[in-house]
């Protein structure tokens, strides 16, 4: 009896030891595969860093529950471009996984409420055009149509500009141009024979007329046409600060809208003119190393700092604009120099070859409770982060455009 029990115990212990050895080998192998190759391009290195940290795309930026969000739309648009460049299906699957997590069997977006009229919601819709073309899944088309319906009824300023959200009456925000116009343009060209192209050009025209600073040629973050909100300049209606990422949002909005805007349309050259104007102004306000500051027009402001998301967005827009022929080829050379400076200033690799990007501006805003006054001091005191989505996505986009 004692001998039988002893044999059973020894056998159990042996199994446990073998399992421990086997599992430790598996962990070691997993750790070995997690090390990214030295020769990997920055674009794929960043993509793999994101997937390793956030196995499901809805988790980006530490989001705990699935959410239809512009941040995922931004990052996954970079994945879409990477998939187009590499034809590596894992990038396509990462995008599709996000869409399928958020869109139910009837083609409804989880927790989406059109009555909020949040213009940010249009941005992830860009991903669905390619998904629908690839799969013919009618759910994707239904969501695309829902988002187009939102833009159809989106509240507007007196002069026709989209409100940023229902809770921000009479206000256009510069990031709203990136959130809505590339989606809006692609939709109207693909499904409406371009009927909304004049309206899209009007959104950019309002920015040029009201959000561009006459002195610097750069853009403010927001404009209240009614001039009633506390942060609005009583004369112009603009918010007080020229935010670096705001410039990036606007430049990306232009180059990505122009991807779909017909060359034969009378406003095509007008949009290219806007891009050339903001590119020239941005180039004049870069640092000596070729990067851009959090408060873009005041590099000497106390506590101001070179900011990574704005710098990457501008680099991407300059490189893409030059590649597409919207901008002079000299801007491609400038983008390359700035990209090299970016690597030195912001980018680090850990012992697994994964990417960390420093000095990313927080998601700053205006109004609300507690009230955000939008002063220069508010922007420089908003705590910078590492590796949040705007910098990761824009760095990927710039690396793809520069073949890095």
pLDDT of residue 366: 97
Q: Which of 220, 234, 345, 366 is nearest to 295 (CA)?
A: 220
pLDDT of residue 193: 98
pLDDT of residue 10: 54
CB-CB neighbours of 51 under 10 Å = 15
**Distance (Å, rounded) from C-alpha 97 to C-alpha 56?**
7
**The two structure tokens encoding residue 44:** 């794929």
CB-CB neighbours of 152 under 10 Å = 8
Q: Which of 356, 312, 357 is nearest to 335 (CA)?
A: 312
Catalytic residues: 175
Tell me the whole-structure pTM to 2 decimals.
Answer: 0.92
pLDDT of residue 34: 74
| Cα separation values, 72 from 66, 307, 339, Å | 10, 21, 23
**Distance (Å, rounded) from C-alpha 320 to C-alpha 150?**
29
Distance of CA 142 to the CA centre of its chain: 24
C-alpha atoms less than 13 angstroms from C-alpha of 393 in its C-beta half-sphere: 24
Q: Map residue 94 onto helix, strand or coil.
A: helix
State the helix-helix crossing angle for 89-102 and 42-53, rounded to 10 degrees.
40
pLDDT of residue 13: 57
Distance of CA 338 to the CA centre of its chain: 19
| Cα separation values, 266 from 261, 276, 289, Å | 10, 17, 38
Query: Which residue ranges in the chain fall short of pLDDT 50?
Result: 2-3, 5-9, 11, 14-33
- Supply the DSSP symbol for 24: H
């Amino acid at each position: 009896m004692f001998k039988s029990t002893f044999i059973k115990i020894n056998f159990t212990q042996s199994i446990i030891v073998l399992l421990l050895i086997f599992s430790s080998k598996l962990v070691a192998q997993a750790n070995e595969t997690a090390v990214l190759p030295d020769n990997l391009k920055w674009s794929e290195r960043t993509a793999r860093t994101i997937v390793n940290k956030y196995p499901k795309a809805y988790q980006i930026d530490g989001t705990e529950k699935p959410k239809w969000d512009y941040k995922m739309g931004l990052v996954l648009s970079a994945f879409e471009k990477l998939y187009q460049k590499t034809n590596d299906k894992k990038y396509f699957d990462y995008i599709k996984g996000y869409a399928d997590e958020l869109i139910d069997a009837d083609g409804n977006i989880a927790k989406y409420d059109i009555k909020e009229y949040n213009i940010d919601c249009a941005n992830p819709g860009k991903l669905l055009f390619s998904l629908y073309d690839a799969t013919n899944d009618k759910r994707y088309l239904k969501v695309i149509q829902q988002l187009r319906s939102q833009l159809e009824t989106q509240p507007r300023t007196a002069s026709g500009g989209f409100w940023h959200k229902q809770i921000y009456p009479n206000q256009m925000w510069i990031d709203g141009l990136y959130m809505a116009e590339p989606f809006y343009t692609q939709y109207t060209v693909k499904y409406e024979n371009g009927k909304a192209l004049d309206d899209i050009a009007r959104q950019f025209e309002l920015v040029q007329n009201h959000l561009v600073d006459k002195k610097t040629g750069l853009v403010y973050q927001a404009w209240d046409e009614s001039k009633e909100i506390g942060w609005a300049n009583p004369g112009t209606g603009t918010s007080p600060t020229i935010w670096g990422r705001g410039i990036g949002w606007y430049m990306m909005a232009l180059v990505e809208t122009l991807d779909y805007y017909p060359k034969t349309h009378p406003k095509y050259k007008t949009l290219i003119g806007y891009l050339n104007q903001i590119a020239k102004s941005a180039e004049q306000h870069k640092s000596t190393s070729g990067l851009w500051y959090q408060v873009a027009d005041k590099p000497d402001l106390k506590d101001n700092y070179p900011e990574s998301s704005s710098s990457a967005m501008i680099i991407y827009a300059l490189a893409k604009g030059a590649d597409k022929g919207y901008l002079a080829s000299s801007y491609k050379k400038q983008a390359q120099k700035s990209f090299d400076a970016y690597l030195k200033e912001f980018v680090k690799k850990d012992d697994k070859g994964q990417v960390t990007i420093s000095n990313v501006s927080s998601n700053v805003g205006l109004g609300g409770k507690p009230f955000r006054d939008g002063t220069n001091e508010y922007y420089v005191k908003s705590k910078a982060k590492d590796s949040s989505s705007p910098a990761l996505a824009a760095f990927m986009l710039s690396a793809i455009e520069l073949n890095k």
